[in-house]
Amino acid sequence: MRSAAIAVGLVALLTPCLVAQAPANLAGSVERRLPALAETYRSLHRAPELSRHEQKTAAFFAAELRKLGFVVTEHVGRYSDGEQAYGVVAMLENGKGPRLLLRTDTDGLPVEEKTGVNYASKATTQNAAGQTVNVMHACGHDLHMTVMLGTAAEMAARKAEWHGTLVIVGQPAEETIEGSAAMLADRMYARFGQPDFVVAEHDSNDVPAGSIALKPGPLMASSTSIDVTLKGVGGHGSRPEAGKDPIVLAAEFILVAQTIVSRQTDPQMPAVLTVGTIHGGTKNNIIPDEVKLGLSLRTYSMAQRDEIVAAIRRTAKGLAEAYGIPAERMPVVELGTQTPPTLNDAVLAERIRKAATATLGAERVQVAKPVMGSEDVGRFTLDGKIPGVLFWLGAANPEKLAASKQSGTQMPSLHSALFAPDYERAIPAGVSAMTAVALDLLQ
């Protein structure tokens, strides 16, 4: 009986109103906030911080939410190596009702900005290797934070229109896909409550600013880093027969590994296997003892991911045996950083589409295109146990986007030194859509 009651309760939470209505006076309210939000965006853009080092960014984000009446906890999260994270959890309780988690990410990238805008980042810092690097919000996390602060302000001002608990999460280290895991490892849900819904947005230069795009099902792929060590028997380059050359073995492995996707997986299930690094040898005339390769694997299914990893192990071992590599020097395949795919809950996605359409208009709510890039926001859904949706926030100047499609020239992508969102159109659309969605879900 209890399980039946839980199922009925979940359906009630997810079932949308028959007719979604736009929140009263939302467009005008967001427009009045735009000058301050635009300045917030430019300020954040000028001062990016790398993953795991978002100290000032997190402090600013937390302080702004406290001004709005949220109860804020900082330093939420602990990485696998024990280091404390700069995660932010802000809560606004407003009576009984659902618990909604809205997530934004906070970190920048080691990219030298070349946009030429007058608010361009000139920030530099030292990376983990001690090298001086430039830092840029080349993925739009500054835009995400700005939209979230605008949404928080609207929700704080509209408490008469909703009931429940709004939880806003400022997640660090999204670019290294470890921030959400760090926050969950710090007992985030035990400390702040498990949400009924998880919603986030991510900007896209394939969607015109002023619009959003969403879809049910897969939106972003899983990501798995794989380290392969191919071992051989070293020797002099003049006597290859006296050794076992791991460089030749590596060359063949790279080619054969591509057939895992092209010939061993279902063509209806996209996958990408990339060899991104190869290191081996010290001198032209020396056959080395081993070669190390760094691979990246993307899939929309963790089961498919596991099948491909097994095929990589099988391929490496089979080639090594064919080359006569001694049994004690068989290849080593190790999994590194990984994150699950972003799979949008179908019922929640439809509810969000209706709420956004009522607010923005049908022409500004597009059908999203899935990508093979990866995110770690999906971890907050606990492998789909909590309904979650990530939608695209349009960031491209509409005129430039139309011209690029006509000419066939690509717009600067995320992570590009030239990425410059049309923030004055993206911010109002993002705040309006996210506020409408939050008001609809917190009923």
Report whether 70 contacts 152 (CB < 8 A): yes
Q: Hey, what amino acid is at 118? A: N
- Number of residues that make up the chain: 443
- pLDDT tens digits along 278-301: 999 999 999 999 999 999 999 999
Q: What is the pLDDT of residue 21?
A: 84
Report whether 185 contacts 375 (CB < 8 A): no
CA distance 207 to 401: 8
Answer yes or no: do 178 and 70 share one domain. yes
User: Looking at the whole model, is its pTM more than 0.95?
Assistant: no
What are the DSSP calls for 83-113, one per residue? PEEEEEEEEEEESSS-EEEEEEE--BBS---
Answer yes or no: do 209 and 257 share one domain. no
Average pLDDT, consecutive stretches of 10 residues, N- to C-terminus, the chain (443 residues): 43 52 93 98 98 98 98 98 98 98 98 98 94 97 98 98 98 97 98 98 98 98 98 96 96 97 95 97 96 98 97 98 96 96 98 98 97 96 97 98 95 97 98 98 96
Q: Which residues contact 159 (CB under 8 A, 6 or more apart)?
A: 92, 94
| Cβ neighbours around 129 below 10 Å, total | 6
Cα dihedral value 400, 406, 407, 409, nearest 10: 60
Strand partners, 226: 295, 335
Residues 57, 61, 62: CA angle, nearest 5 degrees: 115
Report whether 83 contacts 52 (CB < 8 A): yes
Answer yes or no: do 260 and 153 share one domain. no
Answer yes or no: do 128 and 60 share one domain. yes
CA distance 92 to 198: 15
CA distance 135 to 151: 27
Which domain, by its residues, includes 97? 2-221+341-441
Answer yes or no: do 48 and 157 share one domain. yes
Q: What is the pLDDT of residue 14?
A: 53
Report whether 290 contacts 331 (CB < 8 A): no
- What 3-state class would DSSP assign to 91? strand
Domain termination site, one of 308, 339, 370: 339
CA distance 344 to 329: 44
Answer yes or no: do 325 and 282 share one domain. yes
Domain termination site, one of 316, 339, 362: 339
Q: Hey, what amino acid is at 371? A: V
Answer yes or no: do 55 and 149 share one domain. yes
What is the chain's alpha carbon radius of gyration, rounded to the nearest angstrom?
Answer: 24
Q: Hey, what amino acid is at 15? A: T
- pLDDT tens digits along 339-377: 999 999 999 999 999 999 999 999 999 999 999 999 999
Answer yes or no: do 179 and 133 share one domain. yes
Answer yes or no: do 360 and 427 share one domain. yes
Report whether 435 contacts 100 (CB < 8 A): no
Answer yes or no: do 395 and 303 share one domain. no
CA nearest neighbour of 116 among 393, 412, 395, 410? 412
Answer yes or no: do 346 and 314 share one domain. no
Report whether 153 contacts 37 (CB < 8 A): no
CA nearest neighbour of 393 among 416, 417, 360? 360
What is the token pair recorded at 61?
């984000």
CA distance 291 to 232: 8
What is the token pair recorded at 35?
């000058």
Number of domains in the chain: 2
Report whether 77 contacts 180 (CB < 8 A): no
- What 3-state class would DSSP assign to 343? strand
Report whether 237 contacts 286 (CB < 8 A): yes
Answer yes or no: do 211 and 75 share one domain. yes
What CATH number has the domain bearing residue 266?
Answer: 3.30.70.360
